[in-house]
Amino acid sequence: MTLQGRGILITGGSQGFGKAVAEACIDAGADVLVCARGVAELDRTCGELRARAREGQHVASQAADVSDPDSVSLLIAAARERLPRFTGLVNNAGVYGPKGCIEDVAWREWVRAIEINLYGPILLCRAAIPLFRRQGYGKIVNLSGGGATAPLPRLSAYAASKAAVVRSTETIALELADTGIDINALAPGALNTRMLDEVLAAGPDHVGKAFHERALQQRATGGAPLETGAALCVYLLSAASDGITGRLLSALWDPWPSLSSKAAELSKSDIYTLRRIVPRDRGLNWDAS
């Protein structure tokens, strides 16, 4: 019950990874508010989550568009009203956006992906942080992904937005130093969700042969377990991770269960951050004349 007494707002919580996070939070004792754009699916998921909850736990839902400032304001107001103690925000809502070479994709679709994937988390942070500042405590988890750490040809909007989310996370963490608010980015691994279905439906002509083949292999092998990423999310929302902030953590590859013991050392380093690689990092000396 590591989240008992904590209220968590989860965007994109009606399906896929967001739903898995909501389930893990409920199992850990949290009160939960999930949001998504689709009302019917959101209501169905909320009913399933309520059935999962223990007596006394609060589970609620609200339809919202995370890229719209007015919708976000109403969502944060709902979190304050419907969660007994609102302490955590999970910015999970996201899309791949248009698939294809940058000169071929529809510009409006490209911009729309940025609005959802980047503007959405920023808007939610802007709305939640003043409340967290007043109470002297808060936890924010932003969803990253493979697009943040490696190029993703033919998925340029997704790659650009996810890299920006990580750098925004690092920047906001410095703004929030000594406030009791931690903000981190989470990479859950390659998940078999609706986004994988989109890639397969788009086909190799739009996403590229290599990426499409990896997607086929991912579907066949099952992909990364949703539960692993959800467990990392619970950790980052809990008191166990207090003081760990401004990091990009991989659910699959990083030793996050033992990270609390390294919090002091971590705070003085650039481990788990995005940084530029220079020749010296690769054992090369290009400075000599």
Which residue is associated with the tokens 């909320």? 46
Active site residue 158: yes
Residue 212: CB atoms within 10 Å: 18
**Parallel, antiparallel or unpaired: strands 138-143 and 181-187:** parallel
Which runs of E-coded beta strand occur in 144-211? 181-187
Q: Please state the φ and ψ torsions of residue 32, each to the nearest 5 degrees.
A: -135, 140
Q: Do 245 and 215 meet the contact criterion of CB atoms below 8 Å apart?
A: no
Q: Tell me the pLDDT tens digit for each residue of 34-88.
A: 999 999 999 999 999 999 999 999 999 999 999 999 999 999 999 999 999 999 9
Among the ranges given (111-125, 179-193, 228-242, 261-275), the one the predictor scored with the smallest mean pLDDT = 179-193
Single out the catalytic residue among 96, 119, 137, 158: 158
Of the pLDDT bands very low, low, confident and very high (cuts 50, 70, 90), residue 222 is: confident
Predicted local confidence at residue 109, as pLDDT: 96
Of the pLDDT bands very low, low, confident and very high (cuts 50, 70, 90), residue 288 is: low
Mean pLDDT of 5-31: 96
Q: Do 152 and 159 meet the contact criterion of CB atoms below 8 Å apart?
A: yes
Dihedral-angle region of residue 226 (phi above 0 means left; psi in -120 to 50 means alpha; beta otherwise): alpha
- The share of the chain scoring above pLDDT 70, in percent, equals 97
Q: Which CATH number does the domain 7-189+225-277 belong to among 3.60.110.10, 3.30.60.50, 3.40.50.720, 1.10.238.10?
A: 3.40.50.720
Mean pLDDT of 107-130: 97
Residue 192 pLDDT > 70: no
Q: Tell me the pLDDT tens digit for each residue of 137-191.
A: 999 999 997 778 888 899 999 999 999 999 999 999 999 999 999 999 999 876 6
Element (H, E) at 149: none
